[in-house]
C-alpha cells in the first residue's frame, strides 16, 4: 500500500500564490481602462462591479482603487461611493499646462538623439491606425492609436521617470478626452486635426528638429484641450437651458 510522507521534513509540491501579482494585474487593467477612456469623468464605480468585471475578488480591486485614489484618478465621493475624477475647467487647464511642459520636453529628447528610422516607422504606423479607425468610425481604436503614438514617442526620450509622470497625468485627462465621443462630429474633427499634427511630429523626429517636435506636440495637446473645453461649455449651457425650461 502506498503512503504519503507528510512529516515536517516533507517539501510542498505547490508553488505559493503571489497575491501581489494579482493586485498588480488588476491595477494595470484599471489604469489602462482609464488611459483609454473606458470610464467617463464623474462616472460612479463600485468595487463589487469591478471585481465581477475582472473576474477576481474584491481585495485586489480595493488595493488598486486605493492606488488610483492616491494618483487622483479616482475620488471617494462618499463613505462608500467612488467615482472617476470629474471635469473641472481650472484643474484641467493646469494639467494641460503641465503636460505641455513634460510631453514637449519628452518629444524634444526623442528628436535629439541619432536618427532612428524604427521610431519614425512606428510613429507612422500608429498614426495610420488612427486614420483608418476614423474612416470606419471606430473611436475606441482611434483613442488606442493616439495613446500608442504618444507613448511610443515619449519612450524614446530615454527617461522612464518622465514617462511615469506623463502617464499619471494621462490617467487624469484620459477620461475627459474620451468623453468627447458623445459628440462624434467634434471627436472626428479633433482627431483628424491631430493626425495632421502627428505628421509634423514625425517629420520633426525624422529630421532631428527638436524645436519643431516640441512645438508640434504642444500644439496637439493645446488644440484638443480647447476643443474639449468648448464641448464642456456647450454641455453646461444645454443643461442650464433644460433646467431653466423646467
Dist CA 87 CA 216 (whole Å): 25
pLDDT computed for residue 50 by the predictor: 93
Asked if 173 contacts 221 with a C-beta cutoff of 8 angstroms, the reply is: no
Residue 245 gets which letter from DSSP? Answer: H
How far is 65 from 50, CA to CA, in rounded Å?
10
The CATH number fitting domain 89-241, selected from 1.10.1740.10, 3.40.50.720, 3.40.190.10, 1.20.120.530 = 1.20.120.530
- The pLDDT tens digits for 35-48 are 877 888 999 999 99
CA distance 62 to 46: 10
CATH number, span 19-84: 1.10.10.10
Task: Tell me whether domains 19-84 and 89-241 share a fold.
Answer: no
- Predicted confidence at residue 152, as pLDDT, reads 98
Residue 83 bridge partners (DSSP): 44, 75
Q: How far apart are CA 135 and CA 57, in angstroms?
A: 40
Max Cα-Cα span within the chain: 86
Domain boundaries, the chain: 19-84, 89-241
Nearest to 174 by CA among 12, 14, 22, 35: 35
pLDDT tens digit sequence for 55-107:
999 999 999 999 999 999 999 987 778 999 999 999 999 999 999 999 999 99
**pLDDT surpassing 50 at residue 17:** no
Q: What is the pLDDT of residue 236?
A: 61
Question: At a CB cut-off of 8 Å and minimum separation 6, what does 190 contact?
Answer: 180, 223, 224, 227, 228
193-244 pLDDT per residue, tens: 999 999 999 999 999 999 999 999 999 999 999 998 988 887 666 554 445 5
Contact 104, 218 (CB under 8 A): yes
Contacts by residues 196-202 (CB-CB < 8 Å, ≥ 24 positions apart) = 197/223, 198/123, 198/126, 198/127, 198/130, 198/149, 199/127, 201/107, 201/123, 201/153, 202/120, 202/123, 202/124, 202/127
Task: Report if pTM > 0.75.
Answer: yes
pLDDT of residue 205: 98
Q: How many residues does the chain have?
A: 246
Grid coordinates of 185: 462630429
β-partners of residue 78 are 81
User: Which residue's entry shows cell 516533507?
Assistant: 10
Distance CA 222, CA 98 (A): 11
Q: pLDDT digits over 159-189, tens only?
A: 999 999 999 999 998 888 888 888 889 999 9
Q: Are strands 74-78 and 81-84 parallel, antiparallel or unpaired?
A: antiparallel
Amino acid at each position: 500500500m502506498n503512503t504519503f510522507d507528510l512529516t515536517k521534513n516533507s517539501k510542498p509540491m505547490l508553488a505559493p500564490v503571489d497575491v501581489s501579482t494579482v493586485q498588480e494585474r488588476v491595477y494595470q487593467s484599471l489604469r489602462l481602462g482609464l488611459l483609454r477612456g473606458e470610464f467617463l469623468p464623474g462616472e460612479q464605480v463600485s468595487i463589487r462591479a469591478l471585481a465581477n468585471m475582472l473576474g477576481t475578488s474584491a481585495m485586489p480591486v480595493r488595493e488598486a482603487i486605493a492606488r488610483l485614489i492616491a494618483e487622483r484618478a479616482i475620488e471617494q465621493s462618499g463613505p462608500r461611493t467612488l467615482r472617476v475624477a470629474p471635469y473641472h475647467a481650472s484643474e484641467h487647464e493646469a494639467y494641460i499646462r503641465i503636460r505641455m511642459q513634460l510631453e514637449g520636453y519628452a518629444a524634444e529628447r526623442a528628436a535629439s538623439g541619432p536618427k532612428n528610422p524604427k521610431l519614425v516607422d512606428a510613429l507612422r504606423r500608429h498614426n495610420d491606425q488612427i486614420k483608418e479607425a476614423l474612416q470606419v468610425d471606430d473611436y475606441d481604436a482611434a483613442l488606442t492609436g493616439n495613446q500608442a503614438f504618444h507613448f511610443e514617442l515619449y519612450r524614446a526620450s530615454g527617461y522612464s521617470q518622465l514617462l511615469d509622470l506623463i502617464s499619471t497625468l494621462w490617467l487624469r485627462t484620459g477620461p475627459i478626452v474620451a468623453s468627447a465621443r458623445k459628440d462624434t462630429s467634434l471627436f472626428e474633427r479633433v482627431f483628424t486635426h491631430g493626425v495632421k499634427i502627428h505628421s509634423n511630429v514625425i517629420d520633426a523626429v525624422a529630421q532631428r528638429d527638436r524645436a519643431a517636435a516640441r512645438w508640434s506636440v504642444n500644439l496637439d495637446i493645446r488644440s484638443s484641450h480647447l476643443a474639449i473645453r468648448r464641448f464642456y461649455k456647450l454641455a453646461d449651457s444645454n443643461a442650464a437651458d433644460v433646467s431653466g425650461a423646467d
